[in-house]
Structure 1
């Protein structure tokens, strides 16, 4: 089915969709909508081709079904909350959206990718283009225009978080190309390294402090990706260069990063000592406290999709919560926001989504053994899940159009690429080590 003309055409189409999605998610604010529509159309065509076979081949694994169930369960709980409350998800500055339907589309596209699997190169080129573009935009906005935080006209927080993630994935892309040890591979690897630096730079210039907490975890995964591929000497030199680069950017006065870091301690002091919630962290503390109050009121099912704003206004009116930032229809934490809206049932569906993808990627990484390409893809999938889990601790990424589509798109794309036919062949690393790798 994959080798037929229709199968090859659909695999190519899916690859192009993944490439354009990864490359434009940060760069073009409305690209997520068109790519979602393209994924839906591709899935419909793939379903028709699959159904045309009299004896349908067994292409799905138990993990595929588990991920589909996790996506459908998460979307169903959210959809039920929308129907019960008769209120669509409201996003700041973007109005109402049918976000609860996106997990169903992601599940549909996941099955399409596992049936007509694109080459992982589409993913790697996409994340590198996205990281390079985000870095250029950040430099333009901070250096030429002189804005306070790079954001590309969306929101500085998801802009910085997604830039950091694409930068980290670009590092894995460089390793993916490097392990092939072909003449052109070193040029591609160098380009990926440059993309990683641009992605990290965009994150720093966005001033998104919450996302920086994920850096140690992403770094640990990146180091595990180099096992038996790059010598400890090369890894240590790379870490040293990255550390020097980060310190330089932080210390550079015009970047404003050092002031953002110092402000963390002042915000904490103002909130807990001076009872002043009129700061960035203070606002988050108030949101989290208000969200916990809402959860206690209805711990099983939550107060509903549309009850957040009304309840926030009530808490402010009774002086139970501060009014700073209470016009924002999200609670600056995916877990707390879900607890308040959909209670324990919603949080269980959210955690199952995280755990389902994380366990599937971890299983692939552990069982890859000498299959270097599969292991690198699986580790990149873990980066996506761990990165978004961390991002969601201080920002409701699932209440952001680019954030939610980024989680669904990257996790599904990586899982789909793991089914590519060349991934089934182990890649030996020992016989052809170059001087650079030694």
Structure 2
């Protein structure tokens, strides 16, 4: 069962984007054998401090929601999505004993990028003007796709492929450098076709991070080549009518909001939701308002003119995970959200910073932190499942190595 868990976990990147509900199917394929593996090996599971802290972070995230639900009296169904963090624990325990090999994770990332690019091309040809990963066009295999959520996964695949291309360049494996870079281009195309503007924000930060961590490889010729390549790729994408329309629409939305001509636009609604979340947090700073309390607070904000009256009637999340947690779950929920990002990032950046698995893990976290600025990613099953499962998959080789080193020292 340990080997099966490692195999299905390594396949998760491609499964998560290959089909609309792939993030669910892939998680089930990893969780079930992991559960049996933990039961079968329960006597030999011996976790060290780092793995224990990793598990405690996942538990803390879930129980911060429990505290708010008890405090506010909200429905226990509010615990559904955060409970996905706990489901990642058996996978982590199994993978720490038998982690997936990096080469299989890399193959899965390449195949996931190929799938992302192919789906983007499918929409581009057959549904021009419609954003890629829009499940509304029909087809059972598209059910479960969401432009923003899937666009985020695809963008992470793109940056992961870029990290792999640098890694294989370091290994002097030109064939895999080529495959990795083609995978990067395919995934970037899929991301562009999703039209999800918010997921593009941290792409420059991810590129700067990769350049910095691999700066020993960057001579003047290589740096110039990469800069020209990126300029051509992103320049070409930005000139397509679809991307230009999305960017122009965003600029128009901001102008309409600033001059009060129309606040009920895509970005206008987001800005008001952010204002609303800040106002709600000020009223309930410690444990938050709960989901129902947030809705009532938003209604009163609309009636007072603090936000647009039409926006105040929406039951949406805050379209920003940080503000969402602050307003609904207070400082407690916000703190555990930061822990869910920062402790794993500490593990990845402290341990073997130049290793490819550390870079893939750091990219995964940094990109997700960026997505959370414009979307409440974890308010969707796809977001919390994808983040937590990929997190434990990528962390397991590092935690496993740390555990083995500790056992040798003992």
For Structure 1 versus Structure 2, the TM-score category normalised by the shorter chain is 0.7 to 0.9
How far off its partner does 1:199 sit? Answer: 0.9
The answer on 1:257 being equivalent to 2:243 is yes
Q: How far off is 1:75 after superposition?
A: 0.9
Bigger shift: 99-108 or 269-278?
A: 269-278
The structure richer in helix per residue is 2
Q: Which position in structure 2 is the counterpart of 1:197?
A: 185
Give the Cα–Cα distance (whole angstroms) in 2 for the partners of residues 250 and 88 of structure 1: 45
Post-superposition offset of 1:122: 2.2
1:291 touches 1:336 (CA, 8 Å); kept in 2? yes
Deviations 1:224-276 (A, max 9, x none): 343434644234312311210110121123xx212322333322221122253
Match in the other structure for 1:385: 365
Of 180, 188, 207 in structure 2, the residue corresponding to residue 219 of structure 1 is 207
Structure 1 SS opposite 2:372: helix
Counterpart in the other structure of 2:284: 298
1:66-122 Cα offsets, whole Å, 9 max, x none, are 2211111011111333344332557xxxxxx81121111123322221112121122
Q: 1:48 Cα deviation (Å)?
A: 2.7
Query: 1:428 maps to what in 2?
Result: none
Q: Is the 8 A contact 1:365 1:378 kept in 2?
A: yes
Q: Equivalences for 1:134-149 in 2 at 5 Å?
A: 134-149=116-131
Structure 1 residues 61, 276: CA separation in 2 closer, same or farther (over 3 Å shift)? same
- Residue 289 (str. 1) matches residue 275 (str. 2): yes
Unaligned runs of 5+ in 1: 1-8, 91-96, 367-371, 426-438
Distance 1:142 1:105, change over 3 A: same
**Local SS of the residue matching 2:178:** helix
User: Which ranges in structure 2 are unaligned for 5 or more consecutive residues?
Assistant: 136-144, 406-410
What CA distance in whole angstroms lies between the structure 1 residues aligned with 2:70 and 2:24? 23
Contact 2:116 2:186 in 1 (8 A): yes
Partners of 1:178 and 1:264 in 2: how far apart? 38
Q: Please state how far the C-alpha of 1:329 moved relative to its aligned partner.
A: 2.7
* Cα distance in structure 2, aligned partners of 1:286 and 1:421: 47
CA contact (8 A) 2:298 2:312 kept: no
Residues paired across the two proteins, number: 394
Shift of 1:389: 0.7
TM-score w.r.t. structure 2 length? 0.88
Deviation by residue 1:32-64 (Cα, 9 ceiling, x = unmatched)? 2233333332332222333344xx6x5x33322
- How far is 1:352 from its partner? 1.4
Q: Which residue of 1 aligns with 2:87?
A: 105
Secondary structure of 1:292's match?
helix
Report if aligned partners of 1:120, 1:420 keep a CA contact under 8 Å in 2: no
The answer as to whether partners of 2:151 and 2:194 remain within 8 angstroms in 1 is yes
Q: How does 1:257-336 map to 2 (within 5 A)?
A: 257-274=243-260, 276-322=262-308, 323-324=310-311, 326-336=313-323
Q: Which residue of 1 aligns with 2:340?
A: 353
SS of corresponding position for 1:278: coil
Return the offset for 1:419.
4.8
User: For 1:186 and 1:418, how far apart are their aligned partners in 2?
Assistant: 26
CA displacement at 1:299 relative to structure 2: 0.7
Kindly report which structure 2 residues correspond to 1:121-200, keeping only aligned pairs within 5 A, or say none. 121-153=103-135, 154-181=145-172, 185-200=173-188
Tell me how far apart the structure 2 counterparts of residues 169 and 324 of structure 1 sit (CA, whole Å): 37
Q: Relative to structure 1, is the Cα distance of residues 251 and 127 closer, same or farther in structure 2, using a 3 angstrom cutoff?
A: same
Q: Which residue of 1 aligns with 2:138?
A: none
Change (3 A) 1:408 1:232: farther
Q: How far 1:319 moved relative to its partner?
A: 4.1
Aligned to 2:327: 340
Alignment equivalent of 1:245, drawn from 233, 236, 241: 233
| TM-score when normalising by structure 1 | 0.82
Out of 174, 190, 194, the residue aligned to residue 206 of structure 1 is: 194
Name the Cα RMSD after superposition.
Answer: 2.6
Deviation digits for residues 128-158 of structure 1, max 9, x if unmatched? 2112111111121123221432124232112
1:224/1:18 CA distance change after superposition, 3 Å: farther
What is the 5 A alignment of 1:58-137? 58=46, 60-84=47-71, 85-88=73-76, 98-137=80-119
Q: Report what 2:140 is aligned to.
A: none
Alignment partners' CA distance in 1, 2:54 and 2:202: 24
